[in-house]
Structure 1
Amino acid sequence: MSSLAQASARNEHGLYLVEGENMVREAVRTGKALSVLIDESKLSLYEKSIPSGIEIITLSGHVIKKISTTVTPQGILALCALPQETSLGDIGTRVVVLNGVQDSGNVGTIWRTAEAAGFTGLLMDNNCADPFSPKVLRSSMGACFRIPVIRLDDLCGAFKYFSGFSIIATSLEGETLFKTSLPKDNILIIIGSEARGIHEDVLSYATRKVKIPMKGQTESLNASIAAAIIMYEIMRR
């Protein structure tokens, strides 16, 4: 079980773990949990909240701590199957595209914010953090169970599928976000790497480039903050 903290093991077995009471509850509610692992000393605390059709596996606190990736485990985890391959047609018409976003916390936070702002899917290249790594899952706060994600080798090839969509990219040469006319639907928002921004090949597919105005001496914003501002500006209109 502890090997599932590594991407290679997750891909080999087609499984991943989520931990903590809230994440396990959501995994169960959405039908994603195959089984639930509980610290034997906390069985009475959690057992009643697990539906009868889901297998409960009790483990010692020592084993739970070994499996857990958090400093203070809550004593409950869920084993879930990696989702089957999702087609581009299944991620809806309001999509966030991640190009080389390698920080796990940013990927998870963008996933969570995308759901909150009414976006329907996440599209990312293989240079991004693994969406089913423990930190991404924790940061997503359950959005991982509800908003589909697709990982691709070639984002540019995927853009051809979204013919007629507005493809919005962040760029220092872009129009000021708050003065730009943007659609509420049939839209892709591209968020680039924290260090290098959006790759030139990907940027070339943008139908509109925008920038977020900043005062003071700040040169850039965190990727998840920039994504949130753009998503909520679109939702506001």
Structure 2
Amino acid sequence: MITSASNQQIKRVIQLNAKAKSRREEGCFVAEGIKLFRETPAALRDRVFVEASFAEDDQHREIMEEVRKGSFEVVEDRVFEKMCDTRTPQGILTIARMPEYRAEELLGSEGHVPLILVLEDLQDPGNLGTIIRTAEGAGVTGIFMSNKTADPFQPKVIRSTMGSIYRVPFIREEDLCARLDWLREREVYAYAAHLKGENSYNQEDYRKGTAFLIGNEGNGLSDQLAGKAAHLIRIPMEGQVESLNAAVAAALLMYTAHGQRHA
């Protein structure tokens, strides 16, 4: 049992929780809780840490049987709390290896029409996690995000995805404009919600290869990226509201495409 917070493994977990640089260098991140342990594919589990009282509790016998199949450590309760990003730890914490994807994988499997999200400089971790989770539900085949978008492997994003982080392919991009050119060559057409949009979002046909562009929470899409869109669309607003939250707007567009494709 690990009983000291100065243990190198404990320090490693704390660093992975706190610093994006550490996560990038190791290619690993932290997933807290029972659900995320179960959602993490066994092949991606680097090491599992369990609180001593959790390991000794009979109601966790089934989970502990799964934990014992891989590399794990039991940690004294007071030390375990220091490892966690949440205020009320669930007693189990997984260090997972980051999944990696090729751009072609984001187009979906053969026979599927691509449904892509392109995220430019989103900053709110909760928005990003919600978008990834919603993307899985709406059948999105992949997400391209700018390098300035919030780190998808930070703890709050991971919790918000509820496991979708392992099932929705995504790639961080240096040049989203070049990626849109690449998508157009593959007959995937970009739609940008924009104040200058002529048609309402629900007047377009998304049954062909489609990419939705979602911009920064405060500034929206850059002119450069919006200029790459094949179509500018608008989301009608009533009252004095100027725009929707980024995650809500993304969900509206994704499920409109989903509805058309499954009508």
The structure carrying a bigger strand percent of its residues is 1
Distance 1:184 1:141 in 2: 28
**Deviation of the 1:220 alpha carbon:** 1.3
Structure 2: how far apart are the matches of 1:183 and 1:72? 43
**Percent identity over paired residues:** 35
Q: Distance in 1 between matches of 2:243 and 2:93?
A: 37
How far apart, CA to CA, are the structure 2 residues paired with 1:76 and 1:140? Answer: 18
| TM-aligned CA distance change 1:156 to 1:55, over 3 Å | same
Instruction: Find the partner of 1:87 among 95, 102, 113.
Output: 102
| 1:234 match | 257
TM-score computed with the length of structure 2 as normaliser: 0.85
Give the gaps of 5 or more residues in structure 1.
none
Q: Choose the corresponding residue for 2:62, options 48, 51, 59.
A: 48
The 5-angstrom pairing of residues 44-193 of structure 1 reads 44=57, 45-49=59-63, 50-51=65-66, 52-84=68-100, 86-92=101-107, 93-162=114-183, 163=185, 164-174=187-197, 175-178=199-202, 180-193=203-216
For the pair 1:27 / 2:24, whether they are aligned, the reply is no
Give, in whole Å, the separation in 1 of the partners of 2:123 and 2:257: 25
TM-score (norm. length: structure 1): 0.94
| Residue 11 in structure 1 maps to residue 34 in structure 2 | no
8 Å CA contact 1:32, 1:145 repeated in 2: no
Q: In the TM superposition, what is the alpha-carbon distance from 1:47 to its structure 2 partner?
A: 4.7
Structure 2 letter corresponding to 1:32: L
Q: How far does the alpha carbon of each residue in 1:170-222 deviate from its partner, in whole angstroms, 9 at most, with x for none?
A: 101112112x2222241111100010000111111100111111211111110
Alpha-carbon distance in 2 for matches of 1:46, 1:154: 46
Q: Check the 8 A contact 1:40/1:58 in 2, yes or no.
A: yes
| 3-state SS of 2:40 partner | helix
Q: Name whichever of 39-48 and 224-233 sits farther off.
A: 39-48
Aligned-partner Cα distance in 2 for 1:14–1:71: 25
Secondary structure, aligned partner of 2:96? strand
Partner secondary structure for residue 172 of structure 1:
coil
Check conservation: 2:193, 2:201, Cα contact below 8 A. no
Is the CA contact (8 Å cut-off) linking 1:166 and 1:183 kept in structure 2? Answer: no
SS of the residue corresponding to residue 173 of structure 1 reads coil
Give the distance between the partners of 2:132 and 2:31, measured in 1 at CA. 16
Cα deviations by residue, 1:131-161 (Å, 9 ceiling, x for unpaired): 0010111111111011111001111111121
Unaligned runs of 5+ in 2: 1-12, 108-113
Q: Secondary structure at the match of 2:196?
A: strand
**1:208 has 2:231 as partner:** yes
Structure 2 CA distance for partners of 1:67 and 1:102, relative to 1, 3 Å: same
Alpha-carbon distance in structure 1 between the residues aligned to 2:80 and 2:106 = 35
On the 8 A contact 1:95/1:189 being kept in 2, the answer is yes
User: How many residues matched?
Assistant: 234
Q: CA deviation at 1:46?
A: 3.3
The two structures, once aligned, show a CA RMSD in angstroms of 1.4
